[in-house]
Structure 1
Amino acid sequence: MRRRILTLTVAAAAAGALAVPGADPAPAAVPVAAVSPARSTPATQITAHFDLAKGQLPENIALGPDGTAYLTFAAARQVAAVDPAGRTRVLATLAAPADGGVATPVLGFALTTGIVRTGDGTLYVLYASGDAASTGLYRMSPGRAPRRIAALPAAGLPNGLALDPTGRTFYVTDSVLGTISTIPLAGGPVRVWSSASALAPTGFLGVNGVKVRGGAVWATNLDQGTLLRIPLRQGRPGAVEVRATGLVGIDDFAFAPDGRIVATLNGPNTVVGIDRDGRARTLLTGADGLQNPTSVAVRGHIILVASAAYTTSTDPNLIVATLRHR
């Protein structure tokens, strides 16, 4: 398993599950082709270190009301909780694929990806195993084992997960198939919502992180380096709007209270803030402890960044930093 992980060129992404109040970015953002090196975030703190050899590579993050960070450990097939003091507790381990030789396309191993936490403490987790009997969306009620509530294509890679609280609908990205699908909160039928070309991979992984905000579905495309907005037209997708370009290796993202989008760039090992005009500025780098950042959550002016160390192969971790006013 470790040898497989260290050969990856960049990480798979998953969308975090945090909805943060704040202004929606302006509808006519101008894409840009480069990230400014300007820094606006002070020194950070690594609040938790994880075990690379055990596959504890944090892929996606959701926050609880008490500040607990809920994480998926990709290669360990685990769901874990990290309390505000940095103590880590494994909550569940999903079963290995029925066929020991089965693996996900492109990546070559089974992994847990997107995660959402609802107000009653229930966790919803995506599992990509390459096995039709286990790939899908899982529900974890407090104190109970994970149970699959929707099957997803084994030939794909379900990755980002977001919940539209008004529609009681999940949006799921598939980075291999280049689609966004919907699943009812209660589970059940999976429907492809969009397969627009802007979601497609161009060599490795396509559509990645996903959020629902301001009457639209927002998503990233890792291969194309883009931030996308798709208006919701009575539940159906409108035309895809490209809000920013030149974001090499963009993975997950979250909205800050001031309207900025905070995004992780996995391969470049940076976290950026994207303004309403689509201009990106560097917030964090490897000098701050990043190790291939995969996902980010925002609460007020605090950001939490999960790093999986897919290619740095050094220190998968969870970082806390303060987001300064611009």
Structure 2
Amino acid sequence: MAKIVVVVGVTGNQGGSVARRFLQDPQYHVRGLTRHPTSDMARELADKGVEVVQADLDDVESLKEAFAGANLIFTVTNYWEPFFRPDCRQEAAQLGISCRKYAYDVEYQQGKNMADAAAATVGSLDRNGLIASTLSHADKCSNGKFKRLYHFDGKADVFPHYVEEKHPELAKKMSCVQTGYFTSSYNLAPQSYFVKQTDDSFVMRFPTSPTKAVPHLAVNEDTGSFVYGVSQMPPGKSYMAESSTCSWTHFMQIWGSVTGKKGTYEQVSSNDMIEAAQDRAFGAELADMFAYSSEPGYDGGDETLLTAADIRKAGIDCPMTTLRQYMETADWSAVFGL
């Protein structure tokens, strides 16, 4: 009988990648959770064999039903959905809090709901039965310097901290996977990633040190491969899902060699990045992330995190897409202004 792997956010970047990888293994039956089971993406996944289930991340009982009998659960939370929604911003204003803090509250509660629901079926889970997408805890890792990097702490406050505190039996079966900078994120912040100059060259401007190496992940291509590899490892480990690790200076050198364009990196202040953003709250959240990436580092300075190389050392196949490979297949026409 096939094992049941439940994938939260199956129509999203991470969840969709995970679902597609587990579909390749006949040992698994993939149950995908989404709020919109009739969407085009949900129908496409259903046609490929995914059992698409409607679930509400704000309703722990619906999650308990969706998780019931699972052997493996992949969880992911979405800070940015409530962050950008006009009704959420209006409610945040009524509550007298920033949209950044409001989105944290939503993400944190949804993460707790997932943890509580997973704990309700902990007996059916495999030895390494909960794989949680998360990030480092910026407040703790920076000794309080970064107290408002909400889309980091909203994840880390649950995975692993809430699980370890409230559900110790579930924690024994949990692996935490931090995700590197998505290689496709330039689509979200074009005013900082690739700024076109009058001479047809391009400048990238972040508050990160030009020599600080950061992790990069081809999220759609590689999240599934990485999570599948983690699922075959022992539980209780923490990972960094990265396809390549290099500085933004090196990133632009690779990009320039692939595209034939001149590309350079320039470190700017956090205020400069905020001023350049079309949405100041979004700019502030990103500026904190890029500044945090300099010190203590995107991973919080944790040198114990395992990578794809460690998974491969354990004899488990874990192919990843390098930066150059990603850049060679990406469509840069929108960046070039064509």
Q: TM-score, normalised by structure 2?
A: 0.28
More strand by share: 1
User: Which one has more relative contact order, counting CA pairs under 8 Å at least 6 apart?
Assistant: 1
Larger radius of gyration: 2
The TM-score with structure 1 as length reference comes to: 0.28
